[in-house]
Structure 1
Amino acid sequence: MRRRLVQTDSSEWPLLLRNYHELNIRPGHYTPSPKYGCTPPNRPLGDYVSNGVIVLDKPSGPSSHEVVSWVKKFVECERAVSIGTLEPRTTGCLLVCLDRSTRLHKTRVFARSFEYVVLVQLHAPLEPQNDPQSSSCRPISPQEQVSKALESLRGEQLQRVTPVISKVQRQLRLRRIHKIELIEYSEKKNHALISVSCEAATSIRTICIHLGILLGCGAHVHELRCIRSGCCSENRNLSTMHDVLDACHLSNTKEDESYLRRVILPLEYLLTHLPRIVLKDSAVNAICHGAVLKLVGVLRYESRIEAGSEVVLMTTKGEAVAVAFAEMSTASMATASDPAATAARVKRVIMDRNVYPLGWGFGSAAVKRRRVETANPLLGNELGGQAGQGQGNGVMGRSASTVDSDTPML
């Protein structure tokens, strides 16, 4: 009698493991390693903090660099960096990466767009005006004038996005405004509350100055708040500076980790929007050493992968290994017959080396090489230099641009 397979519902699984049952499966033999690795929410506290990020509600007054230095002091970590920079008077979402999660800083895969709510102060009241292009005699209200001016600001703009006193060179930069609309207008106070969705490094104050020029009355920013930074929103997992300080104090004095684990999120939280490729445990350490991913090392993959797109390489326990560029689409992975075909090339390695066991050096060529090195070390060095020019054991190839000098030869 054939055993009936029961499909597990993974819709409530955390982070990168969510909807794991919907991923496509590559056929082939696979042996898991349960004693290596750990699911991100269940990491030991030291590793959890080192691989964590904080979605911080930045207060008005201190600069982003001051806030990051305070968080670094509270958490007692070696490195901390913010994704994006908010001006001292700006409040809202500020993403702070700790220790190992700072490796995601230069990838820019999660903070390419921002959303702001701006309270604009108009320098003079707006009077109803007649529209020369309209046949009706109805005058245009001040609210309609502001909405029409905001509509003309949508699209690409040239801005000098850095202040006069800055370490960054002041020059014209092209920035795109995806969406800008009027939320509310007060004729009594000459205030306009607007919502702006734009790409990173866009000057909101410049947009308000351009709005005042279009309206003919002048305008400036009265209040500014960032409500979304990439995939992080103020409606979910937002913590204040008091939360960070209280969580660290509770963990140090009462040994209660629950509050700190609620304030600090695993770095995988920032990568949930990327297509996923699940690796075999034997291929994880090779990726951490800079190897390109061969098709034989793929266990599961998502259905929305396109060639050249960014993907996240993950383990079967939901740990992020690296951010990579896909060399094959979903259809190519499903129909490819060559196991040595390149599936992805690493853009940035996230996981530390040797967390998982070595997956190379057990083939016949590697065993023969070790025997030669043992019998004659000088001859073994010459053979080792020739072997380093190849592709190793055929499971994982080398990527010269991502391999460090201390990388072992395959």
Structure 2
Amino acid sequence: MTRAPAAPESADQSATDLAPSGQASPDKRKARRSSADRPPRRPTAPDGLVVVDKPAGWTSHDVVARMRRVAGTRKVGHAGTLDPMATGVLVLGIGRATKLLTYVVGADKEYVATIRLGVATTTDDAEGELLTCADPSGVTRAAIDVGVAALTGRIEQVPSSVSAIKVDGQRAYARVRAGEEFALEARPVTVSRFDVHEVRAVPDDAGPVLDVDVTVVCSSGTYIRALARDLGAALGVGGHLTALRRTRVGGYGIDGARTLAELEEIPDDVTLDVLPLAEAARATFPVRDLTPDETRDLSYGKRIDAGEPGASEPVAAIAPDGTLVALLTTSGPHARPVLVFAPA
């Protein structure tokens, strides 16, 4: 009696998967080789913030994309866009810390910048096309100080036309590139400091110009390019921004920032060091130290007593062991969690 041929031992071990010698087929060996050639994935970074000193020529999205590899996770976001020409503090959130970024974005910011008087450009910075030229040699330091004073405090500012503000659902810069003409509405911003450090005459292809080195501390949503444009317009000679460096966002300064080169030097088998959630929250929010009972109630999403009045909101609620439990807002006699970081 003739026996039927034996069936393969499993669906994976079919005749096409084995070479005549019983070894894996060439396709399988090739797949294994390509897998082995891939660099090992970095360990996933813990939840927290990383302050990066963004280099010139990089977009904020470029930095986020690079940090996803360094942090071993795709859950990376940034708090507040920096133009490609700008350098300095870019706050990144990793993991659950991305939930804090909404609040970090609204923090005040500090910049050092150089404003060039005598030339106006289409983008209000050095990357735009020349619009007008005027000889600024008659502009005095006293006149500059008067112009700066008028742009200090609570002011109405028209953003640059190439900003990321949306107009009818499209970014303003995209509409400019498409050749559209439109006007952005002025919006209130606060410039709490606008200090002039040095004014110097420098040669330029467009003719004589004045470079003004300044420090600006301002509210979120303030455009330093627009300050340069408006100062030049007030002095009657035009102006634009030639250099911009962000030195602080809220409680995060340039002294605590790391360059991308430093971050990429971290060995592939070493976990990225981050600013833990509780420390990150302490740098951004007022802090309330919890009792064990309050910690338990908030972990279940329950309300607790409002506590002492007067603190700005939200408040970071810190457990006795030092972990961030929640962000709180006050409603009448109670404080309720708006974000819970340590659920039961």
TM-score, scaled to structure 1:
0.59
Identity of aligned residues (%): 24
The CA deviation at 1:46 is: 7.0
* 2:153 counterpart letter in structure 1: G
1:37-56 map, 5 Å:
49-56=45-52
Structure number with the higher helix fraction is 1
Q: Look up the SS of the partner of 1:144 in the other structure.
A: helix
Q: Does 1:347 align with 2:342?
A: no
Name the SS of the counterpart of 1:50 in structure 2.
Answer: coil
| C-alpha distance in structure 2 between counterparts of 1:120 and 1:353, whole Å | 49
Please point out which of 306, 314, 331 is paired with 2:310.
Answer: 306
Q: Is 2:259 the counterpart of 1:240?
A: yes
Asked if 1:64 corresponds to 2:60, the answer is yes
Distance 1:314 1:181, change over 3 A: same
State the shift of 1:127 in Å: 4.1
Unaligned runs of 5+ in 1: 1-44, 129-140, 296-300, 329-341, 355-410
Q: Are positions 1:73 and 2:66 aligned together?
A: no
Contact 1:307 1:326 in 2 (8 A): no
**Residues 111 and 240 from structure 1, CA distance in 2 versus in 1: closer, same or farther, beyond 3 angstroms?**
farther
Q: Which amino acid aligns with 2:316?
A: V
Alpha-carbon distance change, 159 to 286 in structure 1, aligned in 2, over 3 angstroms: same
Counterpart of 2:258 in 1: which secondary structure? coil
SS of aligned partner of 1:187: strand
Rounded Cα–Cα distance in structure 2 between residues aligned with 1:291 and 1:63: 41
Give the equivalent residue in structure 2 for 1:265.
275
Deviation at 1:212, TM superposition (A): 0.4
Residues 166 and 307 (structure 1 numbering): CA distance in 2 closer, same or farther, change over 3 Å?
A: closer
Residue 120 (structure 1) aligns with: 115
Partner amino acid, structure 2, of 1:78 = R
What secondary structure does 2:73 align onto? Answer: coil
Would the aligned equivalents of 2:277 and 2:323 in 1 still touch at CA under 8 Å? Answer: no
1:94 aligns to what? 90
Higher relative contact order (CA 8 A, sep 6+): 2
8 A contact 2:324–2:342 mirrored in 1? no
Contact 2:286 2:311 (8 Å CA) reproduced: no
| RMSD of aligned alpha carbons | 2.6
Corresponding residue to 1:194 among 210, 214, 218: 214
Distance 1:119 1:73 in 2: 34
Contact 1:84 1:94 in 2 (8 A): yes
Q: Which amino acid aligns with 1:242?
A: A
- 1:187/1:142 Cα in 2 relative to 1: closer, same or farther (>3 Å)? farther
For the residue of structure 2 that corresponds to 1:77, the secondary structure is coil
Give the number of aligned pairs. 265
In the TM superposition, residue 283 of structure 1 has moved relative to its aligned partner by 3.6
Secondary structure of the residue aligned to 2:144 is: helix
Q: How does 1:172-321 map to 2 (within 5 A)?
A: 172=185, 173-189=187-203, 190-235=210-255, 237-247=256-266, 250=267, 252-253=268-269, 255=270, 260-261=272-273, 264-273=274-283, 274-294=285-305, 305-306=309-310, 309-321=313-325
**1:110/1:270 contact within 8 Å kept:** no
Greater strand content: 2
Which residue identity does 2:257 align to in structure 1?
L
Distance 1:241 1:307 in 2: 36
User: 2: CA distance between counterparts of 1:78 and 1:282?
Assistant: 35
Equivalent AA in structure 2 for residue 77 of structure 1 = T
Q: Which amino acid aligns with 2:299?
A: C
Q: Deviations over 1:161-208 (max 9, x none)?
A: 364475723542221111111011113452100111111121111110
Q: CA deviation at 1:69?
A: 1.2
CA drift at 1:312:
1.2
What SS is found at the alignment partner of 2:336? strand
Structure 1 runs of 4+ with >6 Å offset: none
Instruction: Classify the secondary structure of the residue corresponding to 1:193.
Output: strand
Shift of 1:277: 2.0
Mark the CA change 1:162 to 1:146 in structure 2 (over 3 Å): closer, same or farther. closer
Deviation, structure 1 residue 211: 0.5
2:329 matches 1:325:
yes
- Amino acid in the other structure paired with 1:313: A
Match for 2:117: what amino acid?
L
Conserved in 2, the CA contact under 8 Å of 1:115 and 1:195?
yes
Cross-structure match for 2:153: 155
Q: Note the alpha carbon deviations across 1:292-320, whole angstroms, 9 max, x for none.
A: 1137xxxxx7x7x5166432111112111
Q: With the length of structure 2 as denominator, give the TM-score of the two structures.
A: 0.69
